Structure formats: C-alpha cells, structure tokens
C-alpha cells in the first residue's frame, strides 16, 4: 500500500522517526511503520528517559543489571544496547537494499556531558560503535566547537556520524567541512569510504520559538513570526549543495563517499497557531531526511501534503535574514542561545534518566 511516507521517498526525502522504546519494538510498531515507508530511527536522552519511565518493559532487565552494576550510566548503556541493536536489526533490510547507505540507520547519542570535550567525545563514540556492533548505527555527536574535531576524527576512524544540535548556517557548514576532512583522511589511510556516512541534523522549529519570542518582546513585526526557521533550513540546503559538488567532491564520490545529507530535526510544531505539519510540508526536497516525533509522523500520514517545496522561495529566504536584522533580531545570538540550551537540555535529560533508573531500582527492591 502506497503511503504519504512513500510519496516523500519519491520526492527524495527519507522519513525517520524520532522515538524509540522497548514497547515500540516488542509490540511490532516499528516494524509496521517500516512496512509503511519509515526508513530510520533517531534517539536522544530525553527519548530514553521517557521510555524507561513508561510501564514495566525494562523491569526484568533492570533486576538482572542491578544485581551486578550500580553505576546508572552503565545500566543505561546496557539498556540502550538492547533497544538500539533491536532497532538496527529491524531496519537492516532497509539498510542492505540501499547500496548508497542512505537509509536504515539508527542513531545513539554520546553522553551530552561531553559536548565540550573533544577527546572524551571521540572515545565515547568509539565505545558506542563497538558496543552496538551494527553497521547501520549512527553515533550522534553535537556540532559544538569541541564536537567538530571529534566529528572529523570519528569519520577518519570509519565510524558513521549523525551531527546533532545544528542551528546556524555557519555551524552547518563547519560540520560538513569536518566530515569532508574525515573522509579525506580515511581515504588517504586506505579506508573504505563506502563504510561511512553522515547526516547533519539541522534543528528547525526551535529557531522559530526563539525568534518569535524575541519578536514578541519588541511588540512589532508580527509578519515575521514563523518565517526564520524555514528560511534557515532552505539556505542550509543550498549550502549542502555547494559543499557536495565540484571536482574535489566528485573525486571522493568516485572513491565511494556519500554526501552528508541534511536531516531536519525538531520538526514538531511548538506554536499551536501554526499548521501541525508545516515543518514537514515546507521542507521536502531531494537527498534529505525528516525525523519526526510519533505524533508528527501520524499527523503527516493523516493529512500531510507532498510537494517539492525545499527549493521554492530561496531568494525570499535570503531576504528574510535582512528583515530580521532590520527588526533588531540578532540571528547569531539566536542560534548561539539555542545551541547552549540544546546541550543543557540533553544533559539535564541524561541526569533525569539516571534518576529514573535509581527510582526504578528502589521500586523493584520493594517488590
């Protein structure tokens, strides 16, 4: 049966889901979505924290782990290992039937407490890669200043990377350049470029949330509300096309390299005044990914419209930045604040995850 997700694929965009839980896996929900055209999974500390708090699906494994391990992080990694491996296996057929390595990926994030520590991020990425031991695992590394050299080094070691928490055009380009440097090093060291891939997770709706908040504080320019995030993403895509073109890129591609596709993240609509699938409908284009929450995925399958929108209105997108500057909204500050908040939120969720494991431990001890 042809679904809206298949229609997205026909326009060159892969639909992934930003959700994972053991119940989602064991009840067959992920497998059913794959049959309907889903092509990947992303996860983060917030998702795992919610999953472990949900019901009793983890209780049996927690009992066994708690008999041998007391460190909440090690307990979490053991839990994540089972869920991520299972998701990788569910998506393996998707991964194997696409020799270009576009789809079938599952993402697991490095400890967000390491976001500003390059060496520790590299070591953690290697550890997660070995721990999951699946070819369709993306290790998520934040695109912070410390994360950029970690991305390069991780790619140079042949480990696929999902670069997360990208908000600005400059940082998006820097992430692409880090990927390219890693590819060149891998090639020069005799590595197989076909074994690695990368996506650049460019966050969308949070940009409008912050920009709209600042517009509200001015009491003016309501006409600009809800326009910056989509303009930002459209220009990021133009930057992607520039980076992965030309003689140098063609040489890498001939050796088996894949481009670092744009992945639209944070695509659920935060403002109820906006259409619930606007950040999907307005960013459909070739060689891209949209990772959606379960709710957004369901909403799009119910009433989403598919059209090639990503390259429409590019000139207007460029002028949008000028209009925000004229309104006194500092784009660089908006994206810098969002990056700091993003790292802090994921770190807070990671610690809440440890607290949830401790709560479950105490609960299980009483039963």
Tokens 């073109």 found at: 245
DSSP structural state of residue 54: S
C-alpha 178/C-alpha 158 separation (Å) is 14
Tell me the C-alpha to C-alpha distance, in Å, between residue 224 and each of 152, 210, 218, 253, 264: 37, 12, 12, 40, 21
Q: How far is Cα of residue 214 from the mean position of the Cα atoms in its chain?
A: 26
User: Which residue is catalytic, options 73, 140, 225, 241?
Assistant: 140
C-alpha 320/C-alpha 334 separation (Å) is 15
Query: Residues 283, 290: contact at Cβ < 8 Å?
Result: yes
- The residues, any chain, with a CB within 8 Å of residue 219's CB and separated by 6 or more, are none
Can you list the positions of beta strands (E) in the chain?
13-17, 40-41, 105-109, 137-142, 161-166, 198-203, 261-265, 288-292
DSSP 3-state assignment of 72?
helix
Assess whether 140 carries a catalytic annotation.
yes
Query: Residues 141, 151: contact at Cβ < 8 Å?
Result: yes
Burial 316-336 (b: 16+ CB within 10 A, else e): ebeebbebbeeeebebeebbe
Tokens 């989403």 found at: 304
C-alpha 217/C-alpha 129 separation (Å) is 45
Sign of CA dihedral 176, 178, 181, 185: negative
DSSP structural state of residue 236: H
Query: Residues 173, 151: contact at Cβ < 8 Å?
Result: no
Annotated catalytic sites, by residue? 140
């Amino acid at each position: 049966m042809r679904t809206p997700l298949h229609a997205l694929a026909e326009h060159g965009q892969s639909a992934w889901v930003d959700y994972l839980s053991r119940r989602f896996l064991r009840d067959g929900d992920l497998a059913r979505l794959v049959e309907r055209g889903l092509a990947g999974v992303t996860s983060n500390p917030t998702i795992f924290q919610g999953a472990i708090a949900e019901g009793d699906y983890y209780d049996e494994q927690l009992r066994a782990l708690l008999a041998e391990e007391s460190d909440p992080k090690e307990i979490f990694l053991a839990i994540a290992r089972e869920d991520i491996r299972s998701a990788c296996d569910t998506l393996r057929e998707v991964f194997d039937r696409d020799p270009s390595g576009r789809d079938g990926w599952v993402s697991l994030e490095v400890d967000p407490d390491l976001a500003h520590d390059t060496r520790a991020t590299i070591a953690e990425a290697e550890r997660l890669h070995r721990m999951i031991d699946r070819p369709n695992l993306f290790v998520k590394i934040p695109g912070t200043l410390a994360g950029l050299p970690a991305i390069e080094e991780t790619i140079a070691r042949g480990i696929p990377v999902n670069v997360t928490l990208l908000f600005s055009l400059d940082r998006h380009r820097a992430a692409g350049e880090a990927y390219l440097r890693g590819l060149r090093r891998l090639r020069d060291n005799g590595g197989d470029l076909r074994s690695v891939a990368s996506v650049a997770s460019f966050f969308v709706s949070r940009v409008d949330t912050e920009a709209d908040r600042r517009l509200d504080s001015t009491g003016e320019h309501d006409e600009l509300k809800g326009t910056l995030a989509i303009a930002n993403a459209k220009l990021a895509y133009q930057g992607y096309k520039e980076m992965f073109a030309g003689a140098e890129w063609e040489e890498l591609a001939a050796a088996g390299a894949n481009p670092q596709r744009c992945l639209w993240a944070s695509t659920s609509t935060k403002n109820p005044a906006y259409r619930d699938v606007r950040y999907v409908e307005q960013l459909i284009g070739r060689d891209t990914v949209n990772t959606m929450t379960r709710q957004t995925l369901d909403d799009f399958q119910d009433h989403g419209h598919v059209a090639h929108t990503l390259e429409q209105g590019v000139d207007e997108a460029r002028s949008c930045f000028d209009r925000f500057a004229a309104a006194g909204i500092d784009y660089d500050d908006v994206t810098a604040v969002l990056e700091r908040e993003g790292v802090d939120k994921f770190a807070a969720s990671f610690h809440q995850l440890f607290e949830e494991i401790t709560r479950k431990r105490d609960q299980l001890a009483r039963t």
